[in-house]
Chain A
Amino acid sequence: MRACVLTMFFLFQMALPSGARPVEDSARIAHLLNRITFGMRPGDIQYVQSIGINKFIGMQLNPASIPESPVLKSQLSNYPALLRDPVDLFREFKAIKNDTGQGNSGIHSADPGKDSVQRIGEYFHGIGQQYVEARLARAIESPRQLQEIMTDFWFNHFNVSINKDLDHIWVGPYERQAIRPYALGRFRDLLGATCHHPAMLFYLDNWQNTAPGSKAARGRFTGLNENYARELMELHTLGVDGGYTQKDVIELARILTGLGLPLPQASRNQVAYGTAYCFNPNRHDFTDKVLLGQVIHGSGEKEIEEALDLLSRAPATAHHISYQLAQYFVADNPPKKLVDRLASTFQKTDGDIKVVLSVLFASPEFWDDQYDGAKYKSPLRYVVSSIRAADLQPHDLQPLVAFLRMQGQPVYGCLTPDGYKNTQEAWLNPDSVMRRINFATATGTGKLPGANANPPNYLSLAGTVNGGILSPHTQEVIAKAPPQLKCPLLLGSPEFMHY
């Protein structure tokens, strides 16, 4: 019902001739841009003023309505790995592994073990860095900012670490196939896609999850592996207080037995949610299970869909996801009323992320100025917002990649399944503030490696940092500062550390 009212509201706004609408408050727009993009660029506020906040939100919620940037397209064409298929990459990896004599007795090289480890390492690095740079390029350059913001959110939610062996080559397809297409879609689809993707099945070990004593149980496929089942409930759906028990973890692990990696012979694979995988019934437990009090008959692969349906529809899931969205977009400690409203919307729409976000962006809590500038930027947000505010187009992204590593947030590099946090508590510490000031000084004086050689335009930057809204004290200090320090002070200001 509420969704209907909102849609009408947007349509009504769009129907008005543009001259009839009052110019919207630039502080309001700055807050919106701070939250639903990776940071303002020069001219962004004026652009939103010209089309109106509601139209802008409507477009961002429907990324297909926004043409992709030709500059970005050209940048992404430097990363051919982005279009590779996981099965194809797997075949290539195996060829390299076998080619360097790993497992053989080293006829050609003095130390075959070391040589093959190095070659595989180089292969992994070569592919992995393409994904890392592409992700930064998109965050900086894409006009579909909300889609990138949500891709980042969902990637962290369904985290896979690039550091775990095959995931070096699989995180790219994982994001392309299982995350970005569903980032503003249905939660149930995200759940299904991530559950079937080899990157996740490998990362959380489900590819080895086997019913003990089943037909194909042998070698490394001998028994139950609870790892994925646990995180599927604890992190991806219900949340740690979502009311599941250790017994439920085991039941879910049994349901997931046999769900594994796609095979090099593509014809033997299945495809679901746009991703290839292989369900091996000979490793599956066909007995009946009881999950969260519900009976799930041992029918085979269908059990997995039933389990995902059950989990995605649980009220605890609606609450868990809503809490995280409210934290991501509003405040580290999100107001309960907002979380409850979002959870209720989530349930009523069966997990329609777009509608939940529309409600969020229309909520009084989202626009409450007690939350203006209240979130502390994660290293990723800090770096990307700096590049955007200074209107830079780096030709080499490696210095940014290195900076993020030093700040403790390497791209795709969160080792644990819970993903990167977005709270002040996680990121604010004395040493990292010093490093940000370092970065701000380099960027502000035109000395950031890989970027333009000239300092940013001061007037343009001053109008863009936090939408030009700076405290009197900040303005005073900058006014007095020597000219070459004005841009560093803007980029290193307390206002710019927050959003």
Chain B
Amino acid sequence: MDRREFLKVATLSSLTYLFPWGRGWAFSNGKDDADSQKLIVIFLRGAADGLNVVAPYGDAIYHQLRPTIALPGPGLQDGVIDLDGYFGLHPALAAMMPFWRNKTLAFVHASGSPDSTRSHFDAQDYMESGVPGLKTLSSGWLNRLVSQLPSKRSPVQAISLGPVLPRIFAGLASVATVPPNITTQLMAIDRPAVAESFKELYQGLNNDLGKAFAEGISAHHEINEVLSSADDNPPPGPMNREEIMANRGAPTPRKYNAFGQQLAGLFRKDPSIQIAFLDFGGWDTHVNQGAATGQLANHLTPLAQGLADLVSGLGPLYKKTSIIVMSEFGRTAHENGNGGTDHGHGNVMWLLGGQLSGGKVYGRWAGLSTNALHEARDLPTTTDFRAVLCQILIDQLGVSKPALAKIFPDFRPPGNPFLQT
């Protein structure tokens, strides 16, 4: 299918979607689901400061550009955790170090969008649509990925945590939205008389609302069934809590609480779940960002704990899971007049996964001298985020090249970003 054709199909209204209502879902259960690869995408909205997440402590310019918010080197008070002798990890992310050490955690630095917009809304839009610079494609790349997976016809093959379906999941493939605290809930629709009448009311409604109704009922029943089933394999306990205590009891943003354990639990209980998406806000640190402690650290600590819980909770599924953490752009290399940073360009992507070649900081790093910076102020983007995503999809999820072209139209992967250092 050529690109014009693809765009035509992708933007067609789903009036053409024929939902097989009345025949029920045919779940495939058992072996092939247990073997299927999983993908979890986590979006940090607001432009997380990558230069302080994976800090180039080995570059003197880093400390010059950020007199009050640069992280000191390893071994120094409030210093980074050394990664490779040049880069160091923000100390608030200590909970993730076991995965660096067992080589299932990697980073791609100076990565991001080729489009240099510094508008949060546009940049998030481009990173979720997967076609930077183009505003006319209404679907998101993660939805297009779901369309390319072998169909399991499970209503929870793709799940989105949070009440509102994000741009990245917009499109023709059906996605179940799950409330962020993933618990069973009894609703009116669980009463047979209510369900019967409403199903009849929405019968034959062949538009977006009709589709959402049908998927809502299926997903709701499925998730309730899964969560109320007997707990044969309780997930292993959470990792070391000392890292949270070290933050001196700073309030955990409520949204971060327990996401790791809960999401892992869901994946383990229902093998038909393959793709999950969640997002966190609060990263737009224009003022008083802090260094080892402060605003940024307060968000990083519970995120790291959650990721650690997620990985340990997945247990044997971790081998088949890829976790990607991304943000719409990075922040200025220099700090501003308010102890914070402004909108930048290149950022760092975080990758976790059982099959990853981890324990490395990938990406083409050119240093922080003025000529190396984008517009003399920001980290440049030397690796397109789509190159990273494509490689994960090829290596970990076994997506074919033709399928990739449908997920990221107008993009030719320039080569394996994991073969560079």
A→B interface (CB under 8 Å): 114, 117, 205, 208, 210, 212, 217, 220-227, 230, 234, 240, 246, 376, 406-408, 415-416, 418, 424-435, 437-438, 440-442, 473-474, 477-478, 481-482, 485, 488-489, 492-494, 497-498
Show 17 residue pairs from A and B whose CB-CB distance is below 8 angstroms, ordered by the A residue.
A208-B338, A220-B288, A220-B338, A225-B286, A240-B119, A416-B120, A424-B208, A429-B177, A429-B212, A429-B216, A430-B213, A430-B220, A431-B176, A434-B217, A437-B189, A477-B200, A494-B210
Would A222 and B165 be within 8 Å (CB), given that A240-B119, A431-B178, A433-B216 are in contact? Answer: no
Which of the candidate stretches B24-32, B190-198, B296-304 sits at the interface with the other chain?
B190-198
Q: Which residues of B contact A481 (CB under 8 A)?
A: 197
A428–B193 CB distance below 8 A: no
A255 to chain B, nearest CB (A): 16
A432–B177 CB distance below 8 A: yes
Q: Which residues of A contact B121 (CB under 8 A)?
A: 234, 240, 416, 418
Interface size class of B (residues with CB under 8 A): 35 or more
B419 at the interface (CB under 8 A from A): no
Q: Which residues of B contact A431 (CB under 8 A)?
A: 163, 176-179, 216, 219-220
B287–A415 CB distance below 8 A: no
Beta-carbon nearest neighbor of A444 in chain B: B188
User: Which residues of chain B in 181-234 are interfacial with respect to chain A, using CB atoms and an 8 Å cutoff?
Assistant: 187-189, 193-194, 197-198, 200-205, 208-210, 212-217, 219-220
Q: Which residues of B contact A424 (CB under 8 A)?
A: 208
Known A223-B336, A230-B118, A433-B216; further 4 A-B contacts with Cβ < 8 A: A234-B121, A406-B179, A428-B165, A441-B188
Docked pose: A46 CA to B170 CA in angstroms: 41
Beta-carbon nearest neighbor of B220 in chain A: A434
Interface residues of chain A: helix, strand, loop or mixed (majority): helix
Docked pose: A404 CA to B189 CA in angstroms: 19
Beta-carbon nearest neighbor of A210 in chain B: B337
Q: Which residues of A contact B337 (CB under 8 A)?
A: 208, 210, 212, 217, 221-225
Beta-carbon nearest neighbor of B188 in chain A: A441
A211 to chain B, nearest CB (A): 9
Of B138, B176, B337, most buried by chain A (CB within 10 Å of CB) is: B337
A437–B197 CB distance below 8 A: no
B164 at the interface (CB under 8 A from A): yes
Partner of A425 from B170, B197, B213, B343 at Cβ < 8 Å: B170
A437–B188 CB distance below 8 A: yes
Partner of B215 from A227, A406, A430, A488 at Cβ < 8 Å: A430
Of B197, B201, B202, B208, most buried by chain A (CB within 10 Å of CB) is: B201
B163–A408 CB distance below 8 A: yes
Partner of A494 from B193, B202, B281, B338 at Cβ < 8 Å: B202
A162 to chain B, nearest CB (A): 15
Q: Which residues of B contact A428 (CB under 8 A)?
A: 165, 208-209, 212
Q: Which residues of B contact A226 (CB under 8 A)?
A: 342-343
Beta-carbon nearest neighbor of A425 in chain B: B170
